[in-house]
Amino acid sequence: MTWIKRNLFFVIGGVLALAMLGAAGFYDFASWKRNSAALDKLNDVYNQLREYASHKPSPGRNGENIQLANQQTAQVREWITQARNYFRPIAPIPNPTNGLISNEIFADALHRTIDQLQHDATNANVAIPLQYTFSFEAQRSRVKFAPGSLNALAAQLGEVKTIAQILFAARVNQLDGIQRARASDDDASGPQTDYLADSSVTNALTVVTPYAVTFRAFSPEIAQVLAGFASSPHGFVVKSINVQPAGMVQAGGGSDMGMGAPPPTMPASGFTPGRSGPQTVLQEQLLRATIEVEIVKLLPKS
């Protein structure tokens, strides 16, 4: 204690020096941590910039990004041009050169188109309901149509004809019916079996129009129908297909739409060996198929 009293200033100076050394150490440690965090952040930014520089196109390198962007834009435009070949519009019926459709012109075109489809069905050996109008029963007997509906009806008539021709080309056994979206106030008076609950949908690029077709055929003909939709250049998209034995449909109370009973199940081929061998029979069953299909139509270029 005597020594401390004799050297009081020295002791106080030493304590102050130790305190300052401790503060300096703490400051250095905190600075080191901040520097380390800043270095890590700098490395992250550097790595991110290096990653950006390795991209194609690289941003801001002698205009390379602009050149590659122009090339990609040209590729997209070329793809759009090629894609349009698979979405060719179906010509409306009628399709006058001036684009003006009158009641008389549409009524005449409707009757001629229905007659043609009925003859095409006969020539293709496809059974259809008696005096079938291909979903235009509400318009068949009219000479005047709901205002503003002629263009929509003409478009649907052309599309229904195209769908029917795909079925006739596949040579299905029997066409039960085609259903379309309501396009006119006149459709309110037509049979409900001619129409779908859905309607056309328009977005920024396309108009999507729904249809449904019900027919009876064997499996090869159903495959032909699907192939016809797939190979068509008119933007057909098969949304769903429901297939069941035609005999079950009739037994369950399904309507034949004025047709006679469907043909019975027929053996496609058979072989009857001698008594000692087994009997092998291959049977192809008549089916009733309902296909929901949509037509995707590109909007005109703006």
User: What does the pLDDT average to over 254-275?
Assistant: 45
Task: State which residues form the domain around 27.
Answer: 2-84
Taking each helix axis from N to C end, the angle separating 219-231 and 150-170, rounded to the nearest 10 degrees, works out to 130
Stronger pLDDT, 165 or 18, i.e. the higher one: 165
How far lies 245's CA from each of 112, 177, 186, 248, 268, in Å? 35, 17, 35, 5, 16
**173: helix, strand or coil:** coil
* 113 and 197 fall within a common domain: yes
Closest residue by Cα to residue 250 from 286, 274, 280, 226: 286
- Number of domains the chain is built from: 2
* 148 and 34 fall within a common domain: no
**289: helix, strand or coil:** strand
Long-range CB contacts for residues 114-123, cutoff 8 Å, separation at least 24: 114/140, 116/161, 117/161, 117/164, 120/164, 120/165, 120/168, 121/164, 121/168, 121/175, 123/168
User: What does the pLDDT average to over 84-100?
Assistant: 88
Residue 251 confidence (pLDDT): 40
Q: Is residue 289 part of a domain?
A: yes
Residue 4 confidence (pLDDT): 62
Residue 257 confidence (pLDDT): 46
pLDDT category at 57 given cuts 50, 70, 90 is low
On average, the pLDDT of the chain sits at 82
User: What does the pLDDT average to over 170-179?
Assistant: 96
pLDDT category at 46 given cuts 50, 70, 90 is confident
Stronger pLDDT, 195 or 79, i.e. the higher one: 195
Residue 124 confidence (pLDDT): 96
| Contact by Cβ (8 Å): 215, 289 | yes
Q: Is residue 272 part of a domain?
A: no
Give the rounded distance of the alpha carbon of 250 from its chain centre: 32
Domain boundary among 51, 84, 117: 84
* 80 and 154 fall within a common domain: no
Tell me the C-alpha distance between 277 and 259, whole Å: 42
Domain boundary among 29, 64, 84: 84
Domain boundary among 64, 84, 104: 84
Residue 33 confidence (pLDDT): 74
Residue 191 confidence (pLDDT): 94
Residue 58 phi/psi, 5-degree rounding, is -85, 135
Stronger pLDDT, 241 or 37, i.e. the higher one: 241
Which residue do the tokens 């509906």 mark?
A: 149
| Contact by Cβ (8 Å): 200, 209 | yes
* 111 and 200 fall within a common domain: yes
Residue 253 confidence (pLDDT): 42
How do beta strands 236-245 and 174-180 pair?
unpaired
Residue 232 has pLDDT above 70, yes or no: yes
pLDDT category at 66 given cuts 50, 70, 90 is confident
Q: Is residue 212 part of a domain?
A: yes
End-to-end CA distance of the chain: 101
* 124 and 234 fall within a common domain: yes
Residue 147 has pLDDT above 80, yes or no: yes
CATH of the domain at 210: 3.30.70.60
The runs of H, that is alpha helices, within the chain are 2-6, 8-54, 64-83, 103-123, 137-140, 150-170, 219-231, 246-251
* 36 and 112 fall within a common domain: no
Residue 102 confidence (pLDDT): 94
User: What does the pLDDT average to over 141-145?
Assistant: 93
* 106 and 33 fall within a common domain: no
* 69 and 106 fall within a common domain: no
Amino acid at 74: A
Residue 266 has pLDDT above 70, yes or no: no
Stronger pLDDT, 96 or 82, i.e. the higher one: 96
**262: helix, strand or coil:** coil
Q: Is residue 53 part of a domain?
A: yes
Taking each helix axis from N to C end, the angle separating 103-123 and 150-170, rounded to the nearest 10 degrees, works out to 10
